[in-house]
Amino acid sequence: MAIRSLKTGTFSRSLLVGNAYYVPPVSVDYLVIAGAGGGGKYWGGGGGAGGLRSTVTATGGGGTLETALSLTAGVSYTVTVGAGGAAAASAGNGTIGNNSVFSTITSTAGGYGGGSSSSGVAGGPGGSGGGVRKGGSSEVGGAGTANQGFAGGSGDGQGGGGSGGGGAGVIGGTVNYGTGTGGYGGNGVATTITGTSVTNAGGGGGSYNVIGLGGSGGGGDGANDSQNGTGGTANTGSGGGGGSGGYTAGAGGSGVVIVRALQAAASTTGSPTATTSGSYYIYKFTGSGSITY
**Residue range 148-177, pLDDT digits in tens:** 999 999 887 777 899 999 999 999 999 988
Cα–Cα distances in angstroms (integers) from residue 198 to residues 52, 179, 245, in the given order? 13, 32, 34
Buried b (16+ CB within 10 A) or exposed e, 205-220: bbbbeebbbbbbbbbb
Q: What is the pLDDT of residue 18?
A: 55
Average per-residue pLDDT in the chain?
92
Domain ranges of the chain: 1-293
Q: Are 33 and 40 in contact (CB under 8 A)?
A: no
Q: Are 85 and 251 in contact (CB under 8 A)?
A: yes
Percent of the chain scored above 90 by pLDDT?
82
pTM of the model: 0.92
Torsion sign (Cα): 275, 202, 51, 27: positive
What is the pLDDT tens value at each position of the chain, 293 positions in all? 333 333 333 344 555 555 567 778 999 999 999 999 999 999 999 999 999 999 999 999 999 999 999 999 999 999 999 999 999 999 999 999 999 999 999 999 999 999 998 777 899 999 999 999 976 556 789 999 999 999 999 887 777 899 999 999 999 999 988 899 999 999 999 999 999 999 999 999 999 999 999 999 999 999 999 999 999 999 999 999 999 999 999 999 999 999 999 999 999 999 999 999 999 999 999 999 999 99
Identify the CA nearest to 280 among candidates 252, 249, 259. Answer: 259
The per-residue DSSP string of 77-119 comes to EEEEPPPPPPPPSSSB-------EEETTEEEPPPPPPP--SSS
Q: What is the pLDDT of residue 8?
A: 39
Identify the CA nearest to 230 among candidates 209, 245, 211. Answer: 211
Q: What is the pLDDT of residue 9?
A: 38
Provide the CB-side half-sphere exposure for 9 (13 A, CA).
7
**Residue range 220-274, pLDDT digits in tens:** 999 999 999 999 999 999 999 999 999 999 999 999 999 999 999 999 999 999 9
Q: What is the pLDDT of residue 178?
A: 87
Q: Are 212 and 161 in contact (CB under 8 A)?
A: yes
